[in-house]
Structure 1
């Protein structure tokens, strides 16, 4: 199932947060959205998982306008892991994952054996079956992300949207989470802060700056020193991963511009 975003513009309180964004995530692709803080990544994704409505433009899933779908039908096609997660109640892991089955249940229907089987299978798939009875608040960051991915898998969507899924995770947890996402087989659209993770795990990247897409393509084509200097304000050195051959980046500060000689004051 593919995702097509066409002419997406988001305006809030007189400010344009996103301007005429076009991007595509093809069937089974892992597509990354990268850019500096405040560039518009989350604003785009919030429109894709319907937490926010765009001022203009469309989001289509397999050609269907996402905002024309009922909430239930939209949730059957697309699951999301936003940055902000409600944490007021200490649900158990089982209860968290069971929330993913709501789009498939009739109103006030009890959880069926089929629902329970889907939840258990999702937890096994992410290696978190042993956490089933634990309180969500007691889990580590990496364990929480595994459980949230399990909830998304239990939802049985075709598209998964992730907003900075590796934030606050250690290196091993970051790699584990992205490997789980890659192995899901879903069409995935994700915002990532770490450009090296994006380069290794994403099939294609869209670079956003000032609310507009400024580059799109394969990571090795997009992450050039010139673009990184312009968009991120850093000097980048490209190297190849010794095993995968993926582009990896080493960063340092751009050299300071030479100061101009001061002019003598006029008398």
Structure 2
């Protein structure tokens, strides 16, 4: 399922945080959004999963205006994992994953055999079936991310939006989570902080700075030393990954020019 963002702008308290952004993800693509802190990544994604209303522009899922849909219809097409996705109460893992079925239920109190099967399958897909009876708050960071991805999969969306899904995870957990997302078969839009992870896993990258898209394209074409110096303020050295050949980056401070 395709997602298209056109001329999207966000204004809060008179400040324009996102300006005329256009972004496109084709069916099954993993598209990364990268940029420095405060560049507008999370603000943009909040508009995509309808936590924030844009001042202008549209978000379309397979050509249909997301904002013209009911909340239930939108949730059947698009699932999100925000940065601030936390559980205030110690639900069990099964209960957390079952929340993903709410858009498909006519009554909150009615959990069907189909719901239970879908949730069980989602937990198995992320390798977390053994956690079903555990309290969510007792899990490690990596386990929590797996469960939240299972909840999103149980929602049976066609588009998945993730805001910094690898934050606070160790490197093995980061690789596991992105492999899960990559193997989901969904169209995925994700903000990522780590440029090397973005280069390894994403089909396309969009670079955002000061609320505007600076450039977009394949990671190899986008992550140039010139762009990284301009947008991130670092000196970058490009090296090929020894197995995949994907561009990887080594960083130095960008020293001021001498006269």
Fold match, TM over 0.5?
A: yes
Higher-Rg member (1/2) = 1
TM-score normalized by structure 2? 0.99
Q: After superposing the two structures, state which structure 1 stretch, 244-253 or 109-118, moved more.
A: 109-118
Query: RMSD of the TM alignment (CA)?
Result: 0.8
Deviation readout 1:163-192 (Å, 9 max, x if unpaired): 000000000000000000000000000000
Match of 1:129 in 2: 129
Q: Which residue of 1 aligns with 2:46?
A: 46
The corresponding residue for 1:37 is: 37
Matched length? 259
Spell out structure 1 runs of 4+ moving beyond 6 A. none
- TM-score after normalising by structure 1: 0.96
SS at match of 1:198: helix
- Which residue number in structure 2 is paired with residue 25 of structure 1? 25
Residues 8 and 56 of structure 2 are in contact (CA less than 8 Å); yes or no, is this contact kept in structure 1?
yes
The residue aligned with 1:201 is: 201
- CA separation of 1:14/1:217 partners in 2, compared to 1, >3 Å: closer, same or farther? same
Q: Which residue of structure 2 aligns with residue 82 of structure 1? A: 82
Deviations 1:134-161 (A, max 9, x none): 0000000000000000000100000000
CA distance in 2, matches of 1:109, 1:136: 21
CA contact (8 A) 2:39 2:209 kept: yes
Q: Deviations over 1:11-30 (max 9, x none)?
A: 00011100000010110000
Which structure 1 residue ranges, 5 or more long, are not aligned? 261-267
> Equivalents in 1 of 2:79, 2:73: separation in Å?
11
Q: Secondary structure at the match of 1:256?
A: coil
Consecutive unaligned residues of structure 2, counting only runs of 5 or more, are: none
> Which residue does 1:182 correspond to in 2?
182
What SS does the corresponding residue of 1:22 show, helix, strand or coil? strand
